[in-house]
Amino acid sequence: MNSLEKIKSLSIWSKEIEIKPLEGGITNLNYLVNHGSDKLVVRLGSDIPEHLVYRSNEIIVSKAAYEIGVSPKLIHSEQGVLVLEFIESTTLDPKGVQQNLKRIIPIIKKIHHEIPNTLSGQPAIFWVFYVIKYYANFLKKNKSNHIGILENLLDKSAKLEKLSSPREIVFGHNDFLAANFLDDGSKIWVVDWEYGGFNDPLFDIGGLASNNDFNQDQEKETLEMYYEKPLNDDVFQRYNAMKTASLLRETMWSMVSELTSKIDFDYREYTEENLNKFDQAYGSL
């Protein structure tokens, strides 16, 4: 069954539907569905064990995120399918994220501290230094072209783990790409919860910065907004280590996707881009 047939077969439709693909996904396929006067987003994607993505976790986190008012409502779910409320909005790009930090940081803090209050079910833990080891093992077993550099990357990851401690634990989104922020003109929404899990807040802040091309002044501004006080050298060192780890995780995510993904996206180029960012960040520690 192809994607359109899968969407048409869902039991929730009571009227004729019109289906349009939404661009931008590099893990899942997303579609806008007009159902009478209602607009919904249908997200197609099964579990992705090689990325530790399990839809049961995405569902409970999506529901909790809606309960605290930061994410669209989950309307329906079944095997390989999520149906969500459609928000009339603009999808942010990196520049848009940079320009909206004063609106975004309070939302990130709300996610970090309030999602556990409404979460139901077994929560996930997204521990970046385990994910890096997991990816390295997967790449070795599947004879990746990148095997020759893995031991060096693992050594660097071990150093980053030490440099980034001690740490606080909150509930993280863990994938703050610009495309996961929607601006409806009065409110910014956050979408895509497949990596949601308990983590160090500096991972989310570091990922926000590295995914959206922050300069050092913007990084400092972001940290001071988040902690609501001037930045000290200890926090900045731990932040830089965690930001660098987030770049390594994104690099290895792409290395794995080179082997496994069926989506039309240039993962090799994405790997190269992120590996260069990682090397620069690691070299500047």
Q: Provide the residue ranges of all domains of the chain, joining segments of one domain with +.
A: 3-88, 91-283
User: Distance between CA atoms of 119 and 122, rounded to whole angstroms?
Assistant: 9
User: Distance between CA atoms of 236 and 244, rounded to whole angstroms?
Assistant: 12
Q: What share of the chain is helix, strand, coil (3-state, %, to 5)?
A: 50, 15, 30
User: Distance between CA atoms of 283 and 77, rounded to whole angstroms?
Assistant: 44
CATH number belonging to domain 3-88: 3.30.200.20
Compute the average pLDDT of residues 119-145. 95
Q: Which residues contact 233 (CB under 8 A, 6 or more apart)?
A: none
Q: Bridge partners of 17? A: 35
Can you give the pLDDT at residue 93? Answer: 96
Whether 3-88 and 91-283 share one fold: the answer is: no
Q: Are 112 and 171 in contact (CB under 8 A)?
A: yes
The pTM of the full predicted model, rounded to 2 decimals, is 0.92
Q: Are 229 and 242 in contact (CB under 8 A)?
A: no
Compute the average pLDDT of residues 121-135. 93
What mean pLDDT value characterizes the chain? 94
Q: Is 11 exposed, middle or buried (0-12, 13-18, 19+ CB in 10 A)?
A: exposed
| CATH 2.40.50.140, domain 91-283, yes or no | no
CB atoms within 10 A of CB 155: 10
* Per-residue pLDDT tens over the stretch 193-251: 999 999 999 999 999 999 999 999 999 999 999 999 998 889 999 999 999 999 999 99
Which of 190, 270, 237, 279 shows the shortest CA–CA distance to 26?
270
**pLDDT > 70? residue 25:** no
User: Distance between CA atoms of 96 and 94, rounded to whole angstroms?
Assistant: 5
Cα–Cα distance list, 129 to 116, 246, 267, 285 (Å): 22, 9, 22, 18
What is the biggest distance separating any 2 CA atoms in the chain, rounded to whole angstroms?
Answer: 59
